[in-house]
Structure 1
Amino acid sequence: MARVFIYGTLKKGQPNHWHMLNSTVGRAKFQGRGRTMEKYPLVIAGKYNIPFLLNIPGMGYHVTGEIYSVDDQMLQFLDEFEDCPDMYQRTPVRIEVVEWEGKSSAPEERPAVNSIMECFVYSTATYQPEWINLPYYDNYDSLGNHGLHYVLRKNR
């Protein structure tokens, strides 16, 4: 099992979260909430209003999101879904645990709040140069007050 940090449309309550629940593409288990240890620019870009975490550590905000434990099948699905490595690249990032819901038979395996863990994150180093000038967010919501509603793939 691998840990993945989700910050965009795959989070609970977002338009693509149903993929995380689809056992035909693999297993994903919600573990808790976290935020990036380093600051990153999270932007909403392109004509489909897609959230992108730009791989520029030290710029932007500590981005909040969800931590999942996923099996190899789900990790492969996510790589395909995120068009990895072309649009996004899957890289290890240090995440601070904000809230932990994951169950473990051994209490010592349960990370403490404020502890740091490494998770895979789908960020991009292959972005358009003008995206640096877009507004940065610390938390993505497709229906946020930014007015940039995400366009589902089936509607493109």
Structure 2
Amino acid sequence: MTCYKHGKAVFKGMGKTVEKYPLVIAEEANIPFLLNIPGTGRRIIGEIYSVDEQLLHFLDDFEGCPNWYQRTPQEIEILEWEGTDDSPDERPAANSIITCFVYSTTCYQPEWLQLPYHKCYDAFGNHGLRYIRHRDII
């Protein structure tokens, strides 16, 4: 379990969206944006966490939810599960489908649709678009 000053999170495993979405890297800071355009793009790979209510509220605020990003339930295919604190009945099998909250946006520049679509995001990934913190831009 990871404790933050804003709440608690427990890493559970890795998953992939059942639906395809465009994940683009845009703006001067090379920010990843998951565009809420189901059926377009790629199946997105990401980490699955269990978070408490305090952290969920913090994340909503951090993501500008609901104005900038929207938190919506999405079907996720389990790639691997590491939730060791789960009872055997609570551990989803690989390739099974669960529902998780995902932050995506309907607020984007039209030209972002012309950017490359990524299947996952890593600030140091081979895309060469390293994330730049706001204070490093100014």
TM range (shorter): over 0.9
Match of 1:86 in 2: 67
Alignment size in residue pairs = 137
**Unaligned runs of at least 5 residues, structure 2:** none
Match of 1:143 in 2: 124
From 43, 54, 61, give the equivalent of 1:73. Answer: 54
Q: CA RMSD in A?
A: 1.5
Deviations 1:34-76 (A, max 9, x none): 0000111000011111001110111111110000000000001
Contact 1:90 1:121 survives alignment (8 Å): yes
How far off is 1:22 after superposition? 4.9
How far off is 1:21 after superposition? 4.3
From 94, 97, 103, give the equivalent of 2:84. Answer: 103
4+ runs deviating over 3 angstroms: none
Pair 1:115 & 2:91 matched = no
How far off is 1:103 after superposition? 2.3
Pair 1:37 & 2:18 matched = yes
Contact 1:49 1:151 survives alignment (8 Å): yes
Identity, in percent, stands at 61
**Structure 2 Cα separation of the partners of residues 73 and 56 of structure 1:** 29
How far off is 1:152 after superposition? 1.6
**Structure 2 Cα separation of the partners of residues 37 and 129 of structure 1:** 24
Question: Larger C-alpha radius of gyration, 1 or 2?
Answer: 2
How far off is 1:129 after superposition? 1.1
Q: TM-score, normalised by structure 2?
A: 0.93
Distance 1:105 1:88, change over 3 A: closer
Match of 1:64 in 2: 45
Richer in strand (by share): 2
**Unaligned runs of at least 5 residues, structure 1:** 1-19
